């Protein structure tokens, strides 16, 4: 559950530079007119006046005449993109920045076919860009409290849409034979957290709830047996009885988290068509980022993405996404 830890720091992080000027795609493209401007902007945002060696951490490194930097201690030459998602890329930075802007601006995401056409790269390259940018969406919610709606969703082929000969027995509803399970927790008036899970048994879901939802919170679930351990616990537990057609009793509903599921499913089915189990969490992260930043404007979302792109990315993560 490590990937769910830490705070909303980078979402709210102040930045050195003014991003409010990027209020449209055209203003972004006008500003980032060439690679040198993009690199200067990256350097300013990353270091300001104090260039730090990414290898040994030495401060006040100098810029060389060829645009790279040199550390006087460990004698390493490095570029402004070293350790970022733009490291070792042959794709011009302008295309990366436009892609980041477009991906975060599109409410339902953008397919690699569309992105490739829009920024003038092949579909394969666009898919790679999309996957790398998706690394920036890691969920950073520390904990949820107050009124929290919990629910599970099942992503995968709908059996009833398949030809009879291709159907698997007993795969509707909560069966996981052809589907992957995602568990979501939505704080009313706050953030959502969602996690690809191996199954939806109580012993899988309760530790996640206990890790992320503060004791004393009110938890809303449906009548699914997986939530039985909440009946007599540190939480106040309200059950929404879907089976008896009773969706909203007073304020006992799971409408918010269900609204998120429909967004997630629209994104996956409508834009990406197919998502493998291996990559599902990244797509869930993308939908969560959109949901949790739904009140923000395009330039704010771009600022957040930009800030995250400079965080040192482990090579293994980038490789795993490629």
**Which C-beta is closer to Zn ion: that of 31 or that of 47?**
47
β-pairing, 69-70 with 62-63? antiparallel
The binding track of 146-175 with respect to Zn ion, each residue x by CB under 5 A or -, is ------------------------------
**Least separation, in Å, of the C-beta of 36 and Zn ion?**
24
Please tell me whether residue 58 binds Zn ion under the rule CB under 5 A: yes
Size of the site for Zn ion (CB under 5 A): 7
**Which C-beta is closer to Zn ion: that of 56 or that of 269?**
56
Task: Find, among 241, 204, 198, the residue nearest to 220 by Cα.
Answer: 241
Find the binder of Zn ion among 13, 17, 36, 56 (CB under 5 A). Answer: 56
CB-based contact 45:18 (threshold 8 Å): no
**Which C-beta is closer to Zn ion: that of 5 or that of 55?**
55
Find the binder of Zn ion among 25, 52, 55, 280 (CB under 5 A). Answer: 55
Please tell me whether residue 318 binds Zn ion under the rule CB under 5 A: no
**Least separation, in Å, of the C-beta of 68 and Zn ion?**
13
Q: Tell me, what DSSP letter sits at residue 271?
A: I
DSSP symbols for 284-320:
HHHHHHHHHTTTS-HHHHHHHHHHHHTSPPPHHHHHH
**Least separation, in Å, of the C-beta of 71 and Zn ion?**
3
CB-based contact 320:289 (threshold 8 Å): no
**Which C-beta is closer to Zn ion: that of 51 or that of 115?**
51
Stretch that binds Zn ion, among 51-59, 221-229, 282-290, 291-299 (CB under 5 A): 51-59
Task: Find, among 213, 245, 196, the residue nearest to 3 by Cα.
Answer: 196
DSSP symbols for 119-136:
HT--HHHHHHHHHHHHGG
Positions 216 through 235 that interact with Zn ion (CB under 5 A)? none
Helix extents (H) in the chain: 9-12, 25-31, 35-46, 93-105, 112-119, 123-134, 202-212, 255-266, 280-292, 298-309, 315-321
Stretch that binds Zn ion, among 26-34, 57-65, 158-166, 216-224 (CB under 5 A): 57-65
Q: Dihedrals φ, ψ of 231, to 5°?
A: -55, -45
CB-based contact 194:289 (threshold 8 Å): no
Please tell me whether residue 52 binds Zn ion under the rule CB under 5 A: no
Positions 62 through 121 that interact with Zn ion (CB under 5 A)? 71, 73-74
Task: Find, among 91, 92, 71, 68, the residue nearest to 80 by Cα.
Answer: 68
Stretch that binds Zn ion, among 13-21, 53-61, 168-176, 272-280 (CB under 5 A): 53-61
Please tell me whether residue 53 binds Zn ion under the rule CB under 5 A: yes
Positions 19 through 48 that interact with Zn ion (CB under 5 A)? none
Which residues contribute to the site for Zn ion (CB under 5 A)? 53, 55-56, 58, 71, 73-74
């Amino acid at each position: 559950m490590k990937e769910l830890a830490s705070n909303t720091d980078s979402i709210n992080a102040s930045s050195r530079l003014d991003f409010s000027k990027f209020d449209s795609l055209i203003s972004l493209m006008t500003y980032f007119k060439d690679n040198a401007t993009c690199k200067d902007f990256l350097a300013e945002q990353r270091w300001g006046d104090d260039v730090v060696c990414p290898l040994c951490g030495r401060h006040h490194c100098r810029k060389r005449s060829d645009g790279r930097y040199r550390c006087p201690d460990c004698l390493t030459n490095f570029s402004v993109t070293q350790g970022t998602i733009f490291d070792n890329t042959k794709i011009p930075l302008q295309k990366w920045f436009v892609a980041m802007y477009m991906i975060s601006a599109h409410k339902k995401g953008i397919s690699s076919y569309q992105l490739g056409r829009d920024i003038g790269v092949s579909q394969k390259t666009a898919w790679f860009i999309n996957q790398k940018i998706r690394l920036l969406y890691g969920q950073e919610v520390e904990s949820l409290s107050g009124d929290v709606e919990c629910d599970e969703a099942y992503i995968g082929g709908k059996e009833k849409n398949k030809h009879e000969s291709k159907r698997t027995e007993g795969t509707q509803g909560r069966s996981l034979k052809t589907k992957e399970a995602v568990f979501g927790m939505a704080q009313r008036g706050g953030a959502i957290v969602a996690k690809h899970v191996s199954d939806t048994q109580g012993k899988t879901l309760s530790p996640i709830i206990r890790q992320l939802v503060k004791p004393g919170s009110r938890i809303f679930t449906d009548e699914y047996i997986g939530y039985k351990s909440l009946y007599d616990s540190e939480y106040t537990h309200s059950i929404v009885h879907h089976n008896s057609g009773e969706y909203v009793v007073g304020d006992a509903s799971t409408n918010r988290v269900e609204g998120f599921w429909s967004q997630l499913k629209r994104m996956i089915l409508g834009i990406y068509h197919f998502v493998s189990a291996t990559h599902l969490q990244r797509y869930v992260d993308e939908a969560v980022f959109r949901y949790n930043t739904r009140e923000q404007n395009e330039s704010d979302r771009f600022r957040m993405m930009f800030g995250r792109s400079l965080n040192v990315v482990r090579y293994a993560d980038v490789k795993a996404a490629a």
